[in-house]
Chain A
Amino acid sequence: MLLPLLLAFGPLQPAPPWNGYLDDPSLSSRLSGWMEAYPEHVRIDSYGTSREGRPLLVATLAGDLASAESKPAILVVAAVDGLHPAGTEYAVRIGEMMLAEHPDLLHETTIYVLPRANPDGIAANLGAVNVGRRGVSRLIDGDRDGTVDEDQPQDLNGDGIISQMRWFKPPLSRTATHLPDPAEPRLMKTPDRSKGEEATHLIMIEGRDGDGDGLIAEDGPGEVRIDRNFPHLWEEHSVDAGPYQLSEPESLAIAEFVLAHPRIVAALVYGPNDSVVVIPASDQKDKTKKTPVGIDAGDKSLYTKISKAYAEHTSQKRASNDGEEGGLHSWLYAHRGIPTASTNGWGRPDPTVFEEIAPAESSEEEKPSVEAGGDASEAGAAEAEKNEEALKPADVEAAGWLAWSDADRDGSGFVEWESFEHPTFGTVEIGGMVPGFTLNPPADQLDAIAREQLAFLTALLAMQPNVTIEGPEIEAVGHGTYRLRMAMVNSGGMPTRTSMARRNQAIRPIVIRLDLDRNRILDGAPVNRIEGLDGDGGRAALDWVIRPEKDSVTIQIDDPLAGVRTIEVPLPPQGDEGDAS
């Protein structure tokens, strides 16, 4: 009964990569559910509004909401990029599991979850057509003709996806730039002249030339990206970076949230960037030579430690990275000094069927690719190798995704090239990789991935700095004079502040104050700054010689991440007067 109805509706549209994911109403109700289930431990607030008027939501998870802001905190941000709604899925599940399974951890550390930092971009992709939107909804006059939004991409073939158009042998007024990759003809590559390759196709985005200027889909929303709009390595005059740093309400709102919450000890950012599968470079500086492009050399061991924890708790082996320029993740570290784990959450899986052996092998037995060349004769193996090399695709990653799409996703990651009569260009072909396919796993894998991410998050929590005080000890020197000593030890895995924070002072040192008139201090400083204690036992010792008036002296320890502690030290009796020890 159902079949004829389906046929009547035309070609089946393949489900988008985020099929089964949370749309805005589902996300809202899910978060409301948290407040209902854990009213003592969750508060949902809005930290801003998107350009199109959607609230930007933050969930505060804490043991005691009233004191949440005074505790060290972890910041979790997801869906900064419109193409990564999977981030929202991870963030939401992590939050839920945290509340259900580890409420005790929330007593010591607050967690701020920003599950959907770019709601306009996500909404655009979750609509009827997968438009491949990455950015926010600022309208851009991309072709600079004085009007905006007159020429957007269009789903010409009605398959619900904005794909690519390839134009075989375009007229001479346009230049061909690509050719199908001989190793994988579905993928387009630029010609390699040394192999005698020539460009045969022009690639465009699916759409019409609405304003007759020869360009397709050059005007409209979605070009300015949050991850290009932050101040670190911000590229002026680049359209996707916005007219100035933090020009977008979505970016500015995150920045202001971070500035208003100075107790963030670490950040976890889900998106198309990665700092955990492969840690950022630690030997490159920006044009000023004073700020690292990736990370400061002094933070390499910290990032390595975080990376090891990620490897230990998750199964992500491959990662994609989208660059540091203007990114939220790179700003959090380079300008705010916060150690930041940025991750895709999920990387390219291996296809579950083995690759075929090269045709030179005449055997009809199935041989696992892993053992190719192991049992076969040497000559056969060499020829197999040679054929493999000759047929190696230019974009190995894309080919790998195609292989997995073919094997495990019914080819739904790729729209096969098909002929289409374009209103202005004549015969073209429409096809290409489905936007978002390489970033968003099938919905039935989200739970398992999120469980791994939770394990990583708890590892991060366990790694945060933990400063304990040794002493203070006070010893009578004689004649109303005392020697006062204390030490601070950081038993946590992370340093009290990153090397980057020590450089940019975005996180200030720990300040130790002796509450005593300066004239009563014979040795030592009334105000001391502990620039930083390394993780795993970093130690600093302080001592003073004092002549207090009262019968106790107070030490105040002001830790920017952990808060203020006061220790009152009573004076011991002056037993041995005149006897210098």
Chain B
Amino acid sequence: MNQYGITDRLCQLGLMVMCSLPFAGANPTASAQQQIKADVPIAFNRFYDYDELSATMAALAAAHPKLCSIHSIGKSEQGREMWLLTINNPDTGSDLSKPGMWIDGNVHGNEVQAGETVLYAAWYLLEGYDEVPAIRELVDANVFYLLPSVNPDGRAGWFRDPHTPNSNRTGLRPTDNDADGLLDEDGPEDLDGDGHIGRMWRPDPNGTHRRNERDPRIFERVPAVPGPDGRIMRGKWSMAGSEGIDNDGDGRINEDGEGGYDMNRNWPSDWQPTHVQRGAGTHPFSYSETRSVGDFIRAHPNIAAGQSYHNTGGMILRGPGTPYESGNYPRADIGVYDALGKAGEEMLPHYRYMVIHSDLYPVHGGFVNWLSEGLGIVSFTNELWSEKRIMQNGTNGLPDEAARMRWQDRVLFGQTHSDWTEVDHPEFGKVLVGGGTKYSRRTPPPFMLEEEAHRNFAFTMFHASEMPVLRLNEILVKDLGDDVWQVDLEIANDRIIPTRLAHAASKGIGLPDFLSFEPGEGTKVVLAGPATNRFAKTFDPVEFKPERFKVEDGIKGRSISTFRYILASDGPPSGTFQYEATKAADLTIPLEVVVE
């Protein structure tokens, strides 16, 4: 991390100097505010529907043609393009030659702020490149693949149509949710025309609920216990369901709306059919959205870090998704996840670093599970937004109903509540319709959106900054006599993430690393292989092809690996070493022995 230390310090000094000379001249970058001057100004105190998001991404790419390109990785179910931004500096190498970070969001159509969060990352990386050395280094050393919306149809529908905070999670392929042979025949209806799908309460003399006396917006349960007159107490209202009618006459309301599956259960690792995992589809990659993402990621084995954004709850999640997949997380790898997760907890107030199956619930066929377990990529899912942040109450807990109402009224000026309105229901007669709008629970209010986007971006960039970078530590040469030389090559990885996860090494995922030696004139390789360290008296020469051998374990995080060569050379040996890693930039090291 401290590689940025010196340049940061100089920046700070520079700014201090500038500030102390108020009339030092009109230097546009020496503003008093730490603010990114953007070629494409984007407001992050608002949400963007699919069309607006696409246009904004296109504008960003057009304004930064050297560093950024935009292309569609495929089409959604309804034919919307899945726009991907690639941020790479061609001067420092092609994208495939560098460790890559994959960042996506909004696979669940209703988890909209994930789109803005990914957009923020692209924007900050591109607009900060010129001004902020730390950002420039991140861009120059790595490649970033950013897909703000994995579910464009879901996103488009969420903004366009009436919804709850929880709908539509699904993609929009018509699906028979209620096993009656019809597809999408009974979705919700916006009966009161407020643009949201709320709840319905019907008047019921034997009702289970009553309206709160002080705040009639609140419906509270009436316990079925005897009151003062000896009769069991009853309220005047009963829940009639979510806003809608029984379209297919089967006695149920809104049981088969648009879609009806979960694209975040459609990935290969521990994929299970729907009787085990609800919403999983018929087989992995059975949806064009997931297949497009899957094809892209498989074609980019340089991806060494993954981040997916969802809502809600304030979590930094890693696999396994079930207890029986725990074997895919050996201790060495857990150490990597823990180091990154804990750093995230510090940067993201009220977020907790959690393990999916034990701290949340079982997930089969999840995306980050596939990245980690199937492909050996260190990956997290962040569940954005915690309601612990809405009201300060001296505890770390969630606000109670009354506090939520005060938040509603006093901080949001009533904007996420729909008043209870009387409506004529074809089946129930007069009902009250209303309640929280689709913006009420899972998305931040706009004024809190940018901060959360930035903090998540910062966590993701910390993760990116810990992707492996290899350097030559030292070469030690020993003349063994008789024209035989021992050369120890020390390669260091100062970052937390190894070039190969222990899981990848144990399951043979992808290609191993390779270490080659191209001998110079007159030099021959006799033996080569890993050694414990420079003091080791013996080492582990490989049986075949010492001039190019596999390093299955890669270079571990924050460590130095030693490789020993026995070379035959009349005079000092010469040649070139090359360490090739799929998930780190290759390292070329010349062997030049100077004899005094």
Taking Cβ atoms with an 8 Å cutoff, the residues of A that contact B are 141, 144-146, 173, 212-214, 231, 234, 236-237, 243-246, 255, 259, 287-288, 290-291, 334-335, 503-506, 508-509, 511, 517-518, 525-527, 529, 558, 560
Contacts and interface: CB of A to CB of B under 8 A. Distances in A.
Interface string B250-275: 11000000000000000011111111
A288 B274 contact: no
A511 B248 CA distance: 13
Contacts of A558: 180-181
Given A231-B283, A511-B180, A526-B250, A291 B275 contact: yes
A457 B249 CA distance: 42
A214 B543 contact: yes
Contact of B276 (A145, A259, A288, A526): A288
A136 to B, nearest CB: 17
A245 B181 CA distance: 27
B373 A236 contact: yes
Given A144-B508, A504-B273, A527-B249, A244 B374 contact: yes
30 contacts: A146-B511, A173-B543, A214-B543, A231-B273, A234-B268, A236-B268, A236-B507, A237-B507, A237-B509, A243-B298, A244-B285, A246-B284, A246-B285, A255-B282, A291-B272, A291-B273, A334-B273, A335-B282, A504-B275, A508-B179, A508-B181, A511-B179, A511-B181, A518-B246, A518-B249, A518-B251, A525-B251, A526-B250, A527-B249, A558-B180
Given A503-B275, A505-B275, 16 more contacts: A145-B550, A231-B283, A244-B285, A245-B268, A245-B283, A245-B284, A288-B322, A291-B272, A291-B276, A335-B273, A508-B176, A508-B179, A518-B251, A525-B251, A526-B249, A527-B251
A527 B283 contact: no
A259 B287 CA distance: 14
B329 interface: no
Contacts of B273: 231, 291, 334-335, 504, 506
B283 A255 contact: yes
Interface in B120-169: none
Contacts of A529: 179-180
Lowest 10 A-B CB distances belong to which pairs? A527-B250, A244-B268, A237-B507, A508-B179, A504-B275, A290-B276, A214-B544, A287-B324, A213-B544, A558-B181
A145 B275 CA distance: 40
A244 B370 CA distance: 10
Contact of B272 (A141, A236, A288, A505): A288
B74 interface: no
B241 interface: no
Contact of B180 (A144, A504, A518, A527): A527
Given A237-B509, A508-B179, A231 B284 contact: yes
A47 to B, nearest CB: 16
A141 to B, nearest CB: 8
A144 B249 contact: no
Given A212-B544, A231-B283, A509-B179, A146 B275 contact: no
B47 interface: no
Contacts of B352: none
B326 to A, nearest CB: 12
A333 to B, nearest CB: 12
Contacts of B294: 244
B284 to A, nearest CB: 5
A246 B290 CA distance: 14
A146 B546 CA distance: 16
A contact face: mostly helix, strand, loop, or mixed: loop
Contacts of A506: 273
A2 B176 CA distance: 70
A4 B545 CA distance: 48
Contacts of A243: 298
A505 B274 contact: yes
B514 interface: yes
Given A144-B508, A244-B284, A290 B275 contact: yes
Interface in B308-325: 322, 324
Contacts of A560: 181
B512 interface: yes
A471 to B, nearest CB: 22
A322 B251 CA distance: 48
Q: Which of B181, B248, B511: most chain A Cβ within 10 A? A: B181
B417 interface: no
A287 B268 CA distance: 16
Contacts of A508: 176, 179-181
B550 A144 contact: yes
Contacts of B271: 231, 234, 245
Q: Which of B248, B273, B550: most chain A Cβ within 10 A? A: B273
B37 to A, nearest CB: 45
Contacts of A287: 324
Interface string B513-544: 01000000000000000000000000000011
A252 to B, nearest CB: 8
Contact of B512 (A144, A288, A335, A517): A144
A313 to B, nearest CB: 33
Contacts of A212: 544-545
Contacts of B246: 518
Nearest to A259: B282
Nearest to B267: A244
Interface string B30-71: 000000000000000000000000000000000000000000
B209 interface: no
Q: Which of A173, A237, A255: most chain B Cβ within 10 A? A: A237
A25 B390 CA distance: 72
A246 B249 contact: no
Nearest to A525: B251
Contact of A246 (B275, B283, B374): B283
Nearest to B364: A288
A244 to B, nearest CB: 4
A399 B568 CA distance: 54
B367 to A, nearest CB: 13
B276 A527 contact: no
B85 to A, nearest CB: 26
Nearest to A335: B273
Contacts of B248: 527
Nearest to B176: A508
Contacts of A146: 511, 514
A335 B545 CA distance: 46
A560 B251 CA distance: 22
Nearest to B580: A146
Contacts of A236: 268-270, 373-374, 507
Contacts of B427: 518
